[in-house]
Every structure is written in C-alpha cells, then in structure tokens.
Chains A and B, each alone.
Chain A
Amino acid sequence: MAEHTVRSYDQELKMLAGKIAEMGGLAEGLVADSVTALVRMDTALAQKVILTDVRLDRLQREVEEKAILIIAKRQPMAMDLREIVAALRISNDLERVGDMAKNIGKRVIAINTNFGAKKLVIGVEHLADIALEQLKDVLDAFTARDDERALQVRKRDDEIDALYTSLFRELLTYMMEDPRNITICTHLLFCAKNIERIGDHATNIAETVHYVVTGEQLIEDRPKGDTSHLVSVEPAD
C-alpha cells in the first residue's frame, strides 16, 4: 500500500497497529501464564497474571483514544477506516482475553490446594493448548492480513467447543464420585469456560480480519460445538 500524502497519518496508523501487536503478545502471555499457574498451582505466577492484566487494560484504552483521534482528525475512508475499526474491535477482544486469564489466576489463588488436582487439570490444560494455538494463529493472520488463515481459525472453533462439552461432563462425574472434589471442579469448570471464551474471542478476531481484508462482514453462522447446556449426568446408584 502506498504512503499517504500526509505522512503523519501513516505514523498514526502504524502506531495503532503497533499497539495491537503489543496487546496480542501480552494477551497470549497472560493466557499461557495463567494456565501454567493452574497446572503447577503456582500462586505467585497467578498473582503476576492478575497484576499484568492492568497493562492490557491500559493499552486497550490507549488504542481507543488513538483510534477516536484519528477518526476525528483524518476522516478515514475505505481500507484505513477498516483498519481503525479492526483495531477497536480487536483491542476489545484482547482486553477480554486478558480478563479471562486474570479470572483463571484468581481461581488458582482460591483453589490453593494440590488435592487430586493434577489428574483433574489435564483436560483444562489440553483445552488451553488449543485455545492458545487459535489465538496465536489469528493474531498472525491479522499481522499478515491473511483472510484464508483467519477463516481456518474460525472453522476450528468447534473443536474447542466440543472439547469443552466433554470436559464439562468429565468434571461433573468427578464431583459425583467424591464431594470433596466439588470446590476444585467448580473452579476448573469456570476456568474451562474462560478458555472456551478465549476461543470465541479468537473467532471474533478472525471475523475482523476477514472484514479488514475484504470489506465484507461474515454473516453465515459460525460452527458451534458447545452443547454443554444440554449435558446432564445422573449419579450412578
């Protein structure tokens, strides 16, 4: 893309893109750290996640202020307008991703026990691996303005949903087996829900990438595999 006649306009757009990249890296790190903290029951790391999320919130506000200022000053059109709309949307999604990671961190601190945790956490960890991969992929797709790759991410979201549903079932079963598992399993259930939501935000970002590249909004339904609202597990006699 050629440069704008007004060069400071280019710099402003570049700065906006830079902030999104920074947010993306930070959000990925927070998710990875929160899951590590969960797996290792590392409350110090969990604390760090909670504190670092503040930076993500601050960046999101900065992106919003910058974007509003560019709109006011430049009256952006076409591609530029789509870039700015994308920055606003993606920064919102990433800020929410940070909140999800922070919530996992808080739960790590609340659980604060190793009682039977390892076995129970494995499923959540696996879910998190896929969600992180999705997040990483979609952020790369955004950086490269790669519509095809973004659409792939969007298609894969049903894997996370399906896994979440089976995890939901599994955790319910653990709770029935031994009521002492209820506290940790409930926390893990929320952790899993948080991670499933991170996948949803990755899907949102994929749709935004599609919008930036093509100017079209994706209207067809996204694939949905989360059927946990239908799950009920009966206690065995």
Chain B
Amino acid sequence: MDIMADNVTSATIERKPKVVARDVNVYYGEKHALKGVSIDIPEKSVTAFIGPSGCGKSTFLRCINRMNDTISTARIEGKIEIDGKDIYDPALDVVQLRARVGMVFQKPNPFPKSIYENVVYGPRIHGIARSKSDLDEIVVSSLQKAGLYEEVKDRLDDSGTSLSGGQQQRLCIARAIAVGPEVILMDEPCSALDPIATARIEELIDELRSNFTIIIVTHSMQQAARVSQKTAFFHLGVLVEEGPTDQIFTKPRDKRTQDYITGRFG
C-alpha cells in the first residue's frame, strides 16, 4: 500500500531530469540495435527499462556510462546528457564518467579479493581516499548503505567470493556506491538471486533512491512495478512507451505495451 501511495506521489511531483537522451541510435556493425530513443530520467528516483530479449534496453543502459565504447563494432549517434553535460563530448574523461555512473551486473562479480578490498578498490584508484582511516570509513558507510555491514563486519578480510549470491550482489552495490556515484545502472541485478535475496535488493533499491538516480533493466515485470517510479518499454530497438509506473502497469496506452505486460507477446 505504501509503495502504491509513493508511486502516485512521485508520479505527480515532477522531478528534475538527471539524464536526458535525445534521438539516440546504436548500430552494432550493420545491425540497427537502438532506434531514435529520447527519454528524460528523473533524478533520485528509480526508472525501469522493460521489454523482451533483444529489444535494446540493455544496449541503451550501456550508452549511459559509455560501456558500448568497449565494443569495437558499436556506433552511437544522438545525444546523452547528464546534468546538462554531453557525455559523448570528446573532451570528457570516460573514467571519471564511470565513477559518476556506477553499474551493477546480472551476475554478482566481486573481485577475488577480500570484502574490504572490493569496496576500497574504486576509491583508491580514483584517488578519492588515501589514508587508512578514510578508507575504513568508506568501507563501513558503503556496506551500511548496501545493507550488508551487519552481516560481514566481523569478517571484512574474508574473500568476497565466499559470500552468498545475494550478499555478493550487495557487495557489488557497495563497491559501486563507494566511489560516490550520482547514477547507478543495474542490469537485471536480481536474475541470479533467490526470492529472499531479491526482496532484500529491492528493499535496498528503494532506500538508495533517496540519494541516487537509479536505472534498472529487469525481465520481471512485477519487479519493475514494485521498485520503479517511472517505466520505459522497449521493443525491437524502439522506445514504445514511457510513463509513471502505476500508469504503465494499469493502463498502458500502446497496444504493444499492453500485450507485453499482460503476457500476450508472440
């Protein structure tokens, strides 16, 4: 009930756009993977991208921290701005961008290092903190924000890979938070987790949105309905419909959205 009420409020309060995309096209070689996507992502809220496999939602997500740069055949046209600054500006430092735009992946991928080292890795290479006490503080606050601290505080020297799947994913979220990002991209963060671990991540996402702009790609429509305030539906590389989550899931305007979310897609 609370979540529903919350969705209504966030739908009525217009939030400032954090990420603005205009006419974004992505090609993988000959394949036109994303076709003219324009969307505003509101700050400090959760935006969900849904759609069938191969619809372009992950491709678009990867544009937002320029992960597609690592794919040699990928070509991107159009404009993506964060806080009004073009992120494809040649003068822009991509490493700095990725510190501002963190990412959490489908499968938890902690470094084969201690829990402590997993969290401090980013802050250290970005030169955010150098002294032991600063790093200690970052570890504690990041793990707390990721809802993992109480479970691991007595074994920070244990390997990150020794944790359970859900704990590993929260460690990855702590690692992303540690460098103080503004935007967190999540690419199906719960698809490898059991329902309890999933519920904990969803709870965490709900807490994080007061401080971060979160964009989540998910195959679970229920998850999108539960955690997000805004939902965008992609199909065949096109952004078909976007709007307040409660509207998309109760009265979508486009027939394709309706067919997809009600399970009528061929």
Contact = CB atoms under 8 A, between A and B. Distances in A.
Contacts of A80: 262
A169 interface: no
Given A77-B261, A77-B262, A78-B257, 15 more contacts: A1-B264, A2-B259, A3-B264, A4-B263, A6-B263, A75-B222, A77-B249, A77-B263, A78-B249, A78-B250, A78-B251, A81-B249, A81-B250, A82-B251, A216-B251
A101 B17 CA distance: 58
Given A75-B222, A77-B221, A214 B262 contact: no
B265 to A, nearest CB: 7
Contact of A4 (B222, B252, B262): B262
13 contacts: A2-B259, A2-B264, A4-B262, A4-B263, A5-B264, A75-B222, A77-B262, A78-B249, A78-B250, A78-B251, A82-B250, A214-B251, A216-B251
Interface in B233-266: 249-252, 257-259, 261-266
Contact of A78 (B222, B261, B265, B266): B261
Interface size class of B (residues with CB under 8 A): 10 to 19
Of residues B221, B250, B258, B262, which shows the largest number of chain A Cβ atoms within 10 Å of its Cβ?
Answer: B262
A34 to B, nearest CB: 38
Q: Which of A4, A75, A79, A81: most chain B Cβ within 10 A?
A: A79
Contacts of A77: 221, 225, 249-250, 261-263
Contacts of B258: 78-79
Contacts of A18: none
A2 B258 CA distance: 10
Nearest to B253: A215
A4 B251 contact: no
A3 B252 CA distance: 17
Interface string B195-223: 00000000000000000000000000110
B252 A78 contact: yes
A215 B263 contact: no
Contacts of A3: 264
A223 interface: no
A109 B257 CA distance: 56
A7 to B, nearest CB: 11
A105 B249 CA distance: 45
A74 B264 CA distance: 13
Nearest to A80: B262
B263 A5 contact: yes
A214 B266 CA distance: 25
A77 B261 CA distance: 6
A78 B263 contact: no
B264 A4 contact: yes
Nearest to A1: B264
Given A2-B259, A79-B258, A215 B264 contact: no
* 6 closest residue pairs by CB, A with B: A215-B251, A77-B261, A2-B264, A80-B262, A4-B263, A77-B262
Contacts of A6: 263
Interface centre among B257, B259, B265 (most CB of A within 10 A): B259
Interface string A1-38: 11111100100000000000000000000000000000
Interface string A78-121: 11111000000000000000000000000000000000000000
A48 B261 CA distance: 46
B225 to A, nearest CB: 8
A2 B257 CA distance: 13
A216 B251 CA distance: 8
Contacts of A2: 259, 264, 266
Contacts of A215: 250-251
A207 to B, nearest CB: 16
